[in-house]
Amino acid sequence: MDIGFLMFLWMLFGNYVVHLDASMHVHALNQPYRTGYHFQPPKNWMNDPNGPMLYKGIYHLFYQWNPNGAVWGNIVWGHSTSTDLVNWVRHPPAISPSQPSDINGCWAGSATILPGGKPVVFYTGMDHMNRQVQNLAVPKNLSDPFLREWSKSPENPLLAPTADNGIDPDNFRDPTTAWLGHDGHWRVIIGSKMDRGRGLAILYKSKDFINWVKSPEPLHSDDGTGVWECPDFFPVARSGSTGIDTSSFGTAPRVKHVLKISVAELAHDCYTVGTYDRTRDVYVPDKGFVRNRSAPRFDYGKFYASKTFFDAATRRRILWGWVNESSPEKDDIEKGWSGLQAIPRKIWLGGSGKQLIQWPIMEIEKLRAKQVKWRNKVLMEKGSILEVHGITASQADVEVSFEARDLEKADPIEPGWTDAQLICSQENESVKTGLGPFGLMVLASKNLEEYTSVYFRIFKARNDSDGYVVVMCSDQSRSSLNKNNDRTTYGAFVDINPSYQPISLRTLIDHSIVESYGGRGKACITSRVYPKMAIGESSHLYVFNRGSQSVRLSTLSAWNMKTAHINI
């Protein structure tokens, strides 16, 4: 039977009831910051995405959820399913505290598809002694494509810190998707930390997924990085954007591996690209990759605890990431919810082999409605601002492409400017340079009392052979008249040469989230903003140039975005 029809029958006759009433139109009333097409539960706190997978044609997303309030605590695994990664149906929590091994919380984990197509989840529990331990759960009914009931292993916990294994019971969490080795044994890594701040990915092996043995050496470790949370380890093709299954061996010339860690001390998701020795079970980052503040990140704004999975139906790797709030806790309690998931992103290795490229899944484009198109407009120097009329600017998808003229008039970059966020903070949107700032003003009030600007600057490299440096910024300093919100300005370098290619920007705007992709996904910045005036129909969208040189707007396409069906 067609899976879409199965979902329809279940929605019609099951426990799910659709209420098409005034509550669908909360954005302009009591809930102006709830999103129209980003994933979030109906209420309460949400953080890490857990165990995303595809099973019998149904996509599953589990997530850390507090069923009792809008702040962290009482954590269970929330559960929603979809046929298209855009519209989501909610289910009862999949995993809740019930055993001594998870009685104080069911924390983050991953899903693995075993041979024969059987899914299992590995997750961290806080046990009765307040230790972090690893537990296993399996579906009760494999014929149910929605996997609504789960059974925990009587052997739990399968992995636990003990006096003889030297593991810190307070820093032992977040198992990855497991992968199968040449020897037929499964591997999984757990995030942890040793003395003196050495972060590490502890490696375990198992033949039956029940009995696990700790490897003498971690898969990888690094000094001074602090505890590693939510590690993710997966193969990527050296060329093309096709994804690779986690257990795929491939051949070394064709495949690289990515190790991502969530650095708790920085609240950043950092990654390296490197080589995995399957015989020694050791991962070595390629030359040039370092784990410090300059390490590459999936997203240079609010984005943490990310998780990927291999979508076997479309042969792509898809990335989920938690986007938390920028508002005070009291505001979250008042509105009754906290936390979003970023739009799922297809992810692959760029042609340089040095960075991962990300792009919103193509399915999100089916929400595009009314379109506005511009071509070949010149943004004159020193204050050119053009309003984009004809769309609902509070819920939109905007793609724009710029061509910079007179590149020789770009300002030289300062020798110490190695931190893009610092550049964007010091050279904010009001500071004019030779080329930039130019970009978008989104969620803007009519008279610009409030707006969030997403823009570029072009600098001349100090070494002439290096050409130009492109910086992308997301400036929240004027995003709201409410001074109690976090209004950090974010920044990232974009690895493109403006001499040969346009500078592109795609921004997904959804009431309180501004998710931006520069250089066709070479740099991503996500911001959370809460305007007081620029809400609903009172929100405006502008294209601007404040630099001392003109910039050509080669193309602009902006769409209204329809509201998705998400956990209503």
Catalytic residues: 48
CB 516 within 8 A of CB 526: yes
The strand ranges marked E within 381-466 are 384-387, 395-404, 411-412, 435-444, 452-460
CA 178 vs. chain centroid, Å, equals: 21
Phi first, then psi: give them for residue 426, nearest 5 degrees: -80, -40
Q: How many CB atoms lie within 10 A of CB 401?
A: 18
Residue with tokens 């007179």: 406
Residues with Cβ within 8 Å of 378's Cβ and at least 6 positions away in sequence, in order, are 550, 551, 552, 553
3-state DSSP assignment of residue 294: coil
Helix segments in 313-385, DSSP class H:
329-335
- Opening angle at CA 118, ends 117 and 119, nearest 5: 115
Strand partners, 277: 282
Contacts of residue 29, Cβ cutoff 8 Å, sequence gap at least 6: none
Q: Any idea what DSSP says for residue 165?
A: T
Please report, for residues 109, 269, 297, 348, 420, the alpha-carbon distance to residue 514 in angstroms, rounded to integers and kept in the order given.
27, 18, 18, 22, 19
Helix H or strand E segment including 7: helix 3-13
Choose among 419, 415, 441, 416: nearest CA to 429.
441
Q: Provide the total of helices (H) and of strands (E) in the chain, helices listed first.
A: 3, 37
Kindly tell me the burial class for residue 110, based on how many C-beta atoms sit within 10 Å of its own C-beta (0-12, 13-18, 19 or more): buried
Phi/psi at 13 (5° precision) = -110, -10
Strand partners, 507: 398, 516
Q: How far apart, in Å, are the Cα atoms of 199 and each of 71, 274, 306?
A: 28, 18, 18
Which residue type does 288 have?
Answer: G
Edge-to-edge strand list for the sheet holding 268-277: 228-237, 255-263, 268-277, 282-285
Q: Which two tokens stand for residue 66?
A: 């507090």
Nearest-angstrom CA–CA distance, 289 and 538: 45
Half-sphere exposure of 209 (CA within 13 A, CB side): 19
Q: How many CB atoms lie within 10 A of CB 218?
A: 22
Cα 406 to Cα 165: distance, rounded to the nearest angstrom:
62
